[in-house]
Chain A
């Protein structure tokens, strides 16, 4: 069981918007930055969002992140079939470990 809680799956039609939630506690999300990672089938994870809401160079602004208290949210607008992937939230925990959510599988119908 993962320290951070994500929904196992979400789905939406092409062009629509989807959000993925990530719930933690004061020992992790509540006191640290949240990152989001995208893992396409058969590939390594890739950084999508860092420091709660910043995008690395090359990540389109269709991807956004937010954080409130002990929860974080990833938003994806203008869904494309190429966005089908597993998405993970991650953060540092005060128990001196990196923690991840269990992952959310995005299906673009």
Chain B
């Protein structure tokens, strides 16, 4: 059974950093591309980043490019999102999601809340 569990969220001041983790289980982690998607309070889904199954390629939303870094450790079955220079507009629930072959995001974690506030 596929499980994705995010952690690392919390309250952080503007300009500071935070690293999110997504622990994966129930499937062969190294075979799948992985995404981070966020959702600001009361708003819609906002894509953040993708990392290829083997980590060879990474792409980012313009709003986070240069500030966020997606990475993965297949030995630990864990996906990461390093978030630097955080802004108030980064406040959101952050979800990790698995990508299947048809580009659909077929499994999502429960999310972790990041609040950027002074």
A contact residues vs B (CB 8 Å cutoff): 2, 32-33, 35, 37, 39, 44-47, 50-51, 54, 56, 86, 88, 90-92, 96-103
A-B pair number, CB within 8 angstroms:
66
Contact with A along B32-74 (1 / 0, CB 8 A): 0001010000001111001000000001010000000000000
Q: Interface size class for chain B?
A: 20 to 34
Residues of B within 8 A of A32 (CB): 103
Residues of A within 8 A of B100 (CB): 50
B25 within 8 A of A: no
In the complex, the answer to whether B103 meets A99 with C-beta atoms within 8 Å is no
**Chain A's interface: helix, strand, loop or mixed, by majority?**
strand
**Chain B's interface: helix, strand, loop or mixed, by majority?**
strand
Select which of B45, B59, B102, B103 is within 8 A of A37 by beta carbon: B45
B37, B100, B104, B106: residue with the most chain A Cβ atoms closer than 10 Å = B104
A37 to B95, CA, bound (A): 14
Select which of B46, B50, B106, B110 is within 8 A of A56 by beta carbon: B106
Residues of B within 8 A of A99 (CB): 47
Q: List 25 A-B contacts (CB under 8 A).
A: A2-B44, A32-B103, A35-B103, A35-B104, A44-B110, A45-B37, A45-B97, A45-B105, A45-B108, A46-B108, A47-B107, A47-B108, A50-B100, A50-B102, A50-B104, A56-B106, A86-B44, A88-B44, A90-B104, A98-B35, A98-B47, A98-B50, A100-B37, A101-B44, A103-B45
